[in-house]
């Protein structure tokens, strides 16, 4: 089976991830009463866990699927930054190209969860463009890491690593080395991802990124996708659509709707990271766009059935695909 052969090639791929890395912290607990101080639940904490978030979770998905990952990102000179590096090393993710900023903290997002429900999220971060010295180091590290990669992911969370200059440089270098370049986009930069291999916006990002209105039907999505292609001059776009699966739009009005493969949806946290990671590994392994999107769709269907920032692995992914096609 073609998709299974594709998965077996993941271990031979090296992907460069450029973007905003962070730590996802989870506080788990039980709710038995409402606070007498305010009409809010009182969470009795049972455990606390930490996971790689943002671009770091993209890299985590790549190594979980058997590939190798290099990261170019910026973190603070703080305790959370040290924690992030320890977690990267624990997942066999290369951290040699991280840049340290003394002006910005490492981003941490804390989610409080009770009875399998997220009650609140608390973000500690500083947004905006990095200072010139940090941007220069990021650019230099991209130049050094690019020749080692079979593909590049721009994981843009709008926190400052992916500036206009770094975006142009990264795309130009990827095209120079003739390797796939994929983007998990942010609305603010949406029309700047020019001449890429593919991007994977969700429906809301695609609509807002293009300033579109009245997008309701499959036909509307197809028209929107074609407008994105023309605007960016890209090879394709994959619009993820929740319970409707995803839509792959290629040139010459070639549109493919791929139904969701999720059996149950517990948590969509990090699902977009799984889609971009899996698809990029597949493209690095010389898959065509449709097979790359198909295997990414199966991977996303697995991780949304898990609670928290989750990943899948080659064995699990292969078993799900075999099970699907045996029916």
Residue 195 is classified by DSSP as T
The string of DSSP codes covering 227-253 is HHHHHHT-S-EEEE-GGG-EEEEETTT
Distance CA(254)–CA(259), nearest Å, equals 17
Distance CA(157)–CA(186), nearest Å, equals 6
> Beta partners for 254?
250
Q: Which residues are catalytic?
A: 273
Question: And the tokens for 269?
Answer: 């946290």
The answer to whether 278 touches 200, Cβ cutoff 8 Å, is no
The answer to whether 298 touches 321, Cβ cutoff 8 Å, is yes
> Beta partners for 33?
42
Phi, psi of 88 (to 5 degrees): -60, -50
């Amino acid at each position: 089976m073609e998709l299974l052969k594709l998965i077996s090639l993941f271990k031979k791929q090296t992907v460069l991830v450029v973007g905003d890395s962070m730590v996802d912290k989870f506080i788990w607990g039980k709710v038995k009463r409402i606070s007498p101080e305010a009409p809010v639940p009182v969470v009795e904490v049972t455990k606390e866990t930490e996971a790689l978030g943002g671009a770091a979770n993209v890299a985590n998905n790549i190594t979980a699927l058997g590939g190798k990952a290099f990261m170019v990102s910026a973190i603070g000179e703080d305790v959370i930054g040290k924690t992030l590096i320890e977690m990267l090393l624990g997942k066999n993710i290369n951290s040699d190209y991280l840049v340290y900023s003394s002006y910005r903290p490492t981003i941490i997002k804390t989610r409080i969860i009770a009875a399998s429900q997220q009650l609140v999220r608390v973000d500690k971060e500083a947004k905006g463009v990095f200072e010139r010295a940090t941007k220069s180091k990021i650019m230099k590290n991209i130049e050094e890491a690019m020749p080692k990669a079979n593909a590049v992911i721009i994981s843009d969370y709008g926190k400052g690593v992916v500036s206009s200059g770094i975006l142009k440089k990264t795309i130009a270098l990827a095209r120079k080395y003739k390797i796939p370049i994929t983007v998990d986009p942010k609305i603010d930069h949406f029309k700047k991802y020019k001449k890429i291999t593919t991007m994977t916006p969700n429906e809301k990002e695609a609509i807002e990124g293009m300033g579109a209105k009245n997008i309701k039907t499959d036909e509307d999505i197809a028209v929107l996708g074609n407008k994105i292609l023309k605007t960016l001059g890209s090879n394709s776009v994959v619009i993820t659509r929740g319970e409707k699966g995803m839509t792959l739009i290629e040139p010459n009005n070639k549109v493919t709707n791929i139904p969701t493969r999720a059996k149950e949806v517990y948590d969509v946290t990090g699902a977009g990271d799984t889609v971009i990671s899996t698809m990029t590994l597949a493209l690095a392994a010389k898959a065509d766009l449709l097979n790359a999107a198909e295997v990414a769709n199966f991977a996303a269907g697995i991780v949304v059935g898990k609670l928290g920032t989750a990943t899948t692995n080659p064995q699990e992914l292969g078993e799900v695909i075999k099970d699907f096609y045996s029916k």
